[in-house]
Amino acid sequence: MARHLLDDGAARINIFSRDEAKQDLMRRAFNDERVRFFIGDVRDVDSVRTAVLDADFVFHAAALKQVPSCEFFPQQAVKTNVVGSHNVIEASAAAGVRSVVLLSTDKAVYPVNAMGMSKALMEKTAQAFARNHPDSDMTVSVTRYGNVMYSRGSVIPAFISLLKEGKPLTITDPRMTRFLMSLADSVDLVKHAFVHAQPGDLFVRKAASTTVSTLATAVGRLFGQDEPEVHHIGTRHGEKLHETLLTREEIAKATDQGDYFRVPLDDRGLQYEKYFSEGEEDVDTTVDYASDSVAPLDVDETVALLRTIPEIAADPELNT
C-alpha cells in the first residue's frame, strides 16, 4: 500500500506499527524521506494520536487476523480489532483527518469465529461513528476483503513451501470455498474507498472463488504435478465451509459500481416509523454474495490466476 501511495506521489506517509524490526526492514527497503515511522499499538490511543497528528488520510489495517489464534485468545482480538479500531477513529477525528478507511473481512459476515466477530464489531464501530456524528468533516468507511492471495501465513505460500520440501499438501476440507483477491486488487479497493466513500459506506470488490481442492491441484500444476499428494488435516478451529462478502440484506441496499459493490450507511435514527424502505431494484436480492454462490474457478483458471501473483511469476522453481 505504502509503495503504491509513494508511486502515486504522496507527499508524506506515516507508518504506525508495533514491530521495530519490521519497520527497520521497511525503512531500508524504501529509503525515502517521505516515509516516517512511528512505534506504537492501536490499543494505546496516545500512541495513535502521535501518528495521525498531521495526516489527511488514514488506512487502518492493524489487526489480529488469524482465525485459529483468535479462537484461543478472543480477548486479544477484542482489544486490537475492536478497541484499537475505535482508538484509530477517535484519534483521527480529533486530529482533523479527512478520511479513514478500515479493512474488514468476509469473516465478519455471519461470523462464527472470534476473529470475524471482532471484525464485525469493528465495522459496527465505524458505522456508528458516521451515524452519530453526521456533522463530522471526517469520512469513515470500511472495505471488506476475501482472501488476499499469497498474504503472509496463508494457504498458497504454505502449499508452495510444502511442495518445495517434497511434503504432502495439508488439506483441511477439499469442499471449502474462498474468495481470492490479488494484493493489487485489495490496494485498488482501498483507493476506491478513499476516492468515493460517503460517511459509513462499506465497499466490496467482486472476486473469483475456488475450492481448496482445486487450489491444491492448481498449486501442484505449478510444480508440474497433476495429482499432488495430499494429507487431510480436518477443519481448523473456527473455520467456515464457505464465506460471505455481502448478505442479501446488504445487497438489497447496494449499488453496483462495476468491479465494486457499495453499501451505504443505514443512517436512520431510532424512530423507525418516520422512514420508508429504499433499495436498488435491479440488484438480485435473493441470495447472499458468497464464495459458494458464484461459479467456482476450475483448475486451469486457478492456475492462470496463481501465475498473476508476482512472487509466483518470479519463482524460477515454478511455472513448469
Catalytic residues: 107
CB of 19 to ligand UPG, least distance (A): 17
Judged by beta carbon, residue 154 or residue 293, the one nearer ligand UPG is 154
Q: Choose the stretch contacting ligand UPG; rule: CB under 6 A; options: 49-57, 87-95, 141-149, 221-229.
A: 141-149
Residue 62 interacting with ligand UPG (CB under 6 A): no
Q: Number of residues in contact with ligand UPG, rule: CB under 6 A?
A: 20
* 242 counts as binding ligand UPG under rule CB under 6 A: no
How many Cα atoms occupy the beta-carbon half-sphere of 101 within 13 Å?
Answer: 24
Interacting residue with ligand UPG among 178, 192, 242, 262 (CB under 6 A): 178
Residues near 23 by beta carbon (within 8 Å), at least 6 away in sequence? 15, 17, 37, 39
- Spatial separation of the C-alpha atoms in residues 261 and 220, rounded to whole Å: 33
Cell numbers at 314, concatenated: 518470479
- Considering only residues 107, 192, 221, 253, which one is a binding residue for ligand UPG as defined by CB under 6 A? 107
Burial class (CB in 10 A: 0-12, 13-18, 19+), 18: middle
> C-beta of 213: minimal distance to ligand UPG in Å?
9
91 vs 299 by CB, closer to ligand UPG: 299
In the region spanning residues 196 to 215, those forming contacts with ligand UPG, defined by CB under 6 A, are 212
Q: Measured from the CB atom, is 76 or 172 closer to ligand UPG?
A: 172
Q: Considering only residues 80, 87, 99, 105, which one is a binding residue for ligand UPG as defined by CB under 6 A?
A: 105
Question: Which of 124, 145, 118, 122 lies closest to 291, judged by CA?
Answer: 145
Q: What cell does 65 get?
A: 487476523
* Closest separation in Å from C-beta 212 to ligand UPG: 4
Indicate the SS3 state at residue 123: helix
Q: Buried b vs exposed e over 191-217: b needs ≥16 C-beta within 10 Å?
A: bbbbeebebbbbbbbbbbbbbbbbbbb
CB contact at 8 A, 13 and 35: yes
Asked if 123 touches ligand UPG (CB under 6 A), the answer is no
Binding site for ligand UPG (CB under 6 A): 65-67, 105-107, 145-147, 154-155, 158, 170-172, 176, 178, 212, 239, 243
